[in-house]
Structure 1
Amino acid sequence: MDIARRDLLIGAAALALPSTAHAARVRRPAPKGFLWGVAISAHQSEGGNTNSDAWLMENLKPSMFKERSGDAVDSYHRYAEDFAIAAGLGLNCYRLGVEWARIEPSEGFFSNAELDHYARVLEACRARGLKPIVTLNHFTTPLWFAQRGGFEAADAPALFARFCRKVIERLGGLMHAVTTFNEANIRLLVDLMPGFQAALPAVKAAVAAAAKATASPRFSRLAYADPAIATPIMQEAHRRAYDAIKAARPDLPVGLTLTTQDIQSDDPALVTLYQRKLYGDWVEVARSHADFFGVQTYTRFVFDAHGMKPPPPGAELTLSGYEFYPQALANTIRWAHAAIGKPIYVTENGVATNDDARRIAFIDAALDGLGQCLDDAIPVHSYLYWSLLDNFEWTAGYGVPFGLASVDRQTFKRTPRPSACHLGQRARVNRL
């Protein structure tokens, strides 16, 4: 279904004056072929992902989840409508995921029907003029994989690489680029967050409930795994997946994305210390086994000798609890360029807010910083906003609106916000 022209026209009319004013002060053209788009994940948008570890943990007691994903926003069936919205706005790229739990619902069994489904998804994406960037793992795994130890099991790299190769053999020709893990260092980020130690008993109780429910004492979910065990196993999984993808499709660009929040301190030694805590050895992995690096930035973290500081008094906070700080994107792009030296794709950047004017301001400030990075000859190839739609935001449920479009939870009607048209206007003129 096409996005209603009336919705687009209303949004464009609402933005006419601010967009014209902004265009008057922004002159820098984006590079030819620059990717303007949105990002979304499979589990958070598709719904009904019943064979996954996340589905189990959402539906158990105790649960860390405020809500169950349920039907999510039904993108499993409404993907063509979502692509139509993105294309109608003037975007040219769409980052999406394929769901391992659907494709390999039991160990060693690959569903041709689900592979065919994702082939239709990617064909529909391309038919709308959108270049698909595909994520092979976005935090969720098949339940059978979690039951046998997840990414804490020694043979996990071989199993993940086998899945990746199967997907690329069937779908790789429809992809513009592919990434293995979404935010592979997510567990390292969690360890930095204030209050995590206090929440650890609840995490352990939820994992124990999942282990009991599945009669699996080895149950392990990626987001809650012991980082000392899981991180080196995931790094080997990425390397093996990279090699498997290249063996099947040598010309397909393979990237790695990390959560890349802006680490700041008055003490340069603390910046180095906490960057090391956040990224670990993933920097070396990206240097050796990635064709591009995905920056995924939402805010800044400021540290002193006592650890992470709260946002300064009076700071604007987003509905995800982060400080409103769009300048973080340029800072993390510069860090990635210096530390990794690979072509950079902004694969996620966004803000959770009910005030769409602030979403527009966030996007504009982030793009201003990206343009300054390009002025300094840093090779940035995309800006993908998270997310096209308000969707299931993991333990926070449905109350954290990142979307350029809202979604009616009963009818699934998508309604583009003015920020959607605003980003689309910038994409159409290809100017930062």
Structure 2
Amino acid sequence: MLRRSVIFVLVVVLAMLGWQPASAATWSRSFYWGVATAGFQSEGSAPDSNWSRYVATAGGVDPYGNAVDFRHRYAEDIALAAGMGVNTFRFSVEWAQVEPRPGVWDAGELAYYDDVVRHIRAAGMTPMITLSHWVYPGWVADQGGFSNPRTVDDFVEFASRIVPRYPNALWVTFNEPVAFLSEELKIGAVNPLQISVWQADVVRAHRQTYDLIHRLDPSAKVTSNQSFYAGFNAATDLVVMDQIRDKVDFVGLDYYYGVSLDNLTALNAGSGDLWNVKLQPEGIYDALRYYANRYPNLPLYIVENGIPTDNGKPRADGYPREAALRDSIFWVQRAKADGIDVIGYNYWSITDNYEWGSYRPRFGLYTVDALTDPSLTRHATAAVPVYRDVIANGGVPEGYRLVQGPASCSLVDPLASCLAPPDPDGPLAHLG
């Protein structure tokens, strides 16, 4: 009894000092319904950066132009999201915009992001802010990017300037770090001999930034969203996620494509023909179950999920965006009903954008013809009213019939997804 009393007093004292056990951590929403975008891909007005340099010199890429001009249309895009009932808006603060030269902080650019967040909050939405969506300033590129340990200190300093401006936010330090590494290799920013240094620096940058964010704002929630490579995450998670598992408040995952005995079309992703990949919406359940088992004490958030078309044309497989959206949400509900702690879902993306060298893959709920329409008009796809209805009703209704059923022997999470596939006839959870 004395021991229990001492423990009780200790807990009370710690609570008075502001400490909370992990189980007491609170989330501002019962479920986060979101849309996503990213700075370089959507803003336009691109400053000097690793990616603006690559686009200016590489052959075989679409000219960047002004992307979809989120920079001047953010109020419109945020209003479009609010019109669907979205309560979370993901975007990135571009390091290259706010610190164009070492130690030089652009007050006008900081004010621009302040106004973006002001509009998000005024619409009743939670900002999810990405600090690194594959792009960094040209001066950082000149010093070797994240293959130079000095960049870790520079990145943490950047974070220290941004985080205090936006309390009570959801934070993503690095977007898809394994994919980030792949893109860095593609554009020549990293060579194979530098991979181990790059990996160690990104891990160190995340860990220091996580601690920084929690010192500045104990209410913040932080992750580094992981791309789900169907069949391979047991290996890819070794690169970063396993190294930061004690420095994330939730697992952010991006799920797009599956693999099965009767579907190997994911190979088209390697050539950039994303619209030729046959989707496997049931794989989102397998991905959630995989991470629930790998990191059992962390809630899960689908930070990105979506479907590409070829320049806005109907998909050759006849599977429309609105059907893929409903089917995917169905499997999220099944995961929740089975006890998997999934707390949010973001659709990628609110509008079409610059998909790392090409405007051809169209992921947007609102489609924009960036190459031929000078007005950059946002046109609603059929998925817009569907997402609005899904959010309003907390998912698809009981009795919903899948447009595309499960694949034969899914290998999204081998061998579990094949030997113990999710039951499409089970109960559905209400997502709030």
Q: Shorter chain as normaliser: what TM range?
A: 0.7 to 0.9
Find the partner of 1:97 among 74, 79, 92.
92
3-state secondary structure, aligned to 2:303 = strand
Query: How many Å separate the matches in 2 of 1:289 and 1:156?
Result: 20
3-state secondary structure, aligned to 2:199 = helix
Shift of 1:277: 3.0
Is the aligned partner of 1:81 residue 2:76?
yes
Counterpart of 2:256 in structure 1 is 298
Shift of 1:64: 5.3
3-state secondary structure, aligned to 2:362 = coil
Counterpart of 1:172 in structure 2 is 166
1:326 aligned partner, one-letter code: P
Is the aligned partner of 1:424 residue 2:388?
yes
Counterpart of 2:121 in structure 1 is 126
Using a 3 Å threshold, how does the CA distance of structure 1 residues 59 and 312 change in structure 2: closer, same or farther?
closer
Query: How many Å separate the matches in 2 of 1:376 and 1:34?
Result: 16
Using a 3 Å threshold, how does the CA distance of structure 1 residues 256 and 34 change in structure 2: closer, same or farther?
same
Using a 3 Å threshold, how does the CA distance of structure 1 residues 153 and 311 change in structure 2: closer, same or farther?
closer
Whether the 8 Å contact between 1:34 and 1:382 is mirrored in structure 2 is yes
Find the partner of 1:230 among 198, 217, 231.
198
Find the partner of 1:255 among 212, 215, 223.
223
Counterpart of 1:345 in structure 2 is 301
Shift of 1:68: 2.4
Query: How many Å separate the matches in 1 of 2:340 and 2:127?
Result: 23
Is the aligned partner of 1:389 residue 2:384?
no
3-state secondary structure, aligned to 1:102 = helix
- 5 Å-filtered alignment, 1:1-20, equals none
Counterpart of 2:51 in structure 1 is 54
Using a 3 Å threshold, how does the CA distance of structure 1 residues 56 and 297 change in structure 2: closer, same or farther?
same
Is the aligned partner of 1:336 residue 2:291?
yes
**Deviation readout 1:224-251 (Å, 9 max, x if unpaired):** 9943231111001100111111121121
1:118 aligned partner, one-letter code: Y
Counterpart of 1:70 in structure 2 is 65
3-state secondary structure, aligned to 1:119 = helix
2:171 aligned partner, one-letter code: V
Query: How many Å separate the matches in 2 of 1:425 and 1:244?
Result: 39
Using a 3 Å threshold, how does the CA distance of structure 1 residues 66 and 281 change in structure 2: closer, same or farther?
closer
Find the partner of 2:314 among 330, 347, 355.
355
1:398 aligned partner, one-letter code: Y
**Deviation readout 1:338-366 (Å, 9 max, x if unpaired):** 11231111110001023386111211121
Query: How many Å separate the matches in 2 of 1:111 and 1:76?
Result: 15
Shift of 1:275: 2.8
**Deviation readout 1:322-381 (Å, 9 max, x if unpaired):** 332222211111111111231111110001023386111211121111111101111111
Query: How many Å separate the matches in 1 of 2:199 and 2:76?
Result: 37
Is the aligned partner of 1:324 residue 2:279?
yes
Query: How many Å separate the matches in 2 of 1:59 and 1:381?
Result: 40
Find the partner of 1:115 among 107, 110, 115.
110
Whether the 8 Å contact between 1:53 and 1:141 is mirrored in structure 2 is yes
Counterpart of 1:379 in structure 2 is 341
Query: How many Å separate the matches in 1 of 2:183 and 2:377?
Result: 34
1:53 aligned partner, one-letter code: N
**Deviation readout 1:181-211 (Å, 9 max, x if unpaired):** 01012156679xxxxxxxx8xx4xx63xxxx
Number of paired residues? 355
2:322 aligned partner, one-letter code: I
Whether the 8 Å contact between 2:330 and 2:395 is mirrored in structure 1 is no
Counterpart of 2:246 in structure 1 is 288
**Deviation readout 1:112-138 (Å, 9 max, x if unpaired):** 221111011000111112211110110
Counterpart of 2:423 in structure 1 is none
3-state secondary structure, aligned to 1:254 = strand
Deviates more, 1:320-329 or 1:240-249: 320-329
Is the aligned partner of 1:411 residue 2:375?
yes
Whether the 8 Å contact between 1:255 and 1:292 is mirrored in structure 2 is yes
Counterpart of 1:195 in structure 2 is none
Give the gaps of 5 or more residues in structure 1: 1-30, 192-199, 208-219, 264-273
Structure with the bigger RCO (C-alpha within 8 Å, sep 6+) is 1
Whether the 8 Å contact between 1:188 and 1:279 is mirrored in structure 2 is no
**Deviation readout 1:153-208 (Å, 9 max, x if unpaired):** 02221111111111012x222x53111001012156679xxxxxxxx8xx4xx63x
Whether the 8 Å contact between 2:88 and 2:128 is mirrored in structure 1 is yes
Using a 3 Å threshold, how does the CA distance of structure 1 residues 158 and 311 change in structure 2: closer, same or farther?
closer
3-state secondary structure, aligned to 1:179 = strand
Is the aligned partner of 1:182 residue 2:175?
yes
Shift of 1:312: 9.8
Root-mean-square deviation (Å): 2.6
Counterpart of 1:41 in structure 2 is 38
1:176 aligned partner, one-letter code: A
2:233 aligned partner, one-letter code: Q
Using a 3 Å threshold, how does the CA distance of structure 1 residues 155 and 311 change in structure 2: closer, same or farther?
closer
Using a 3 Å threshold, how does the CA distance of structure 1 residues 422 and 318 change in structure 2: closer, same or farther?
farther
Name whichever structure is richer in helix by fraction: 1
Whether the 8 Å contact between 1:295 and 1:347 is mirrored in structure 2 is yes
Whether the 8 Å contact between 1:50 and 1:56 is mirrored in structure 2 is no
**Deviation readout 1:54-90 (Å, 9 max, x if unpaired):** 0111011xx1552122200000010000011111122
Whether the 8 Å contact between 2:321 and 2:382 is mirrored in structure 1 is no
Query: How many Å separate the matches in 2 of 1:312 and 1:258?
Result: 20
Shift of 1:286: 3.6
3-state secondary structure, aligned to 1:262 = coil
3-state secondary structure, aligned to 2:226 = strand
Using a 3 Å threshold, how does the CA distance of structure 1 residues 151 and 345 change in structure 2: closer, same or farther?
same
Query: How many Å separate the matches in 2 of 1:166 and 1:117?
Result: 14
1:282 aligned partner, one-letter code: V
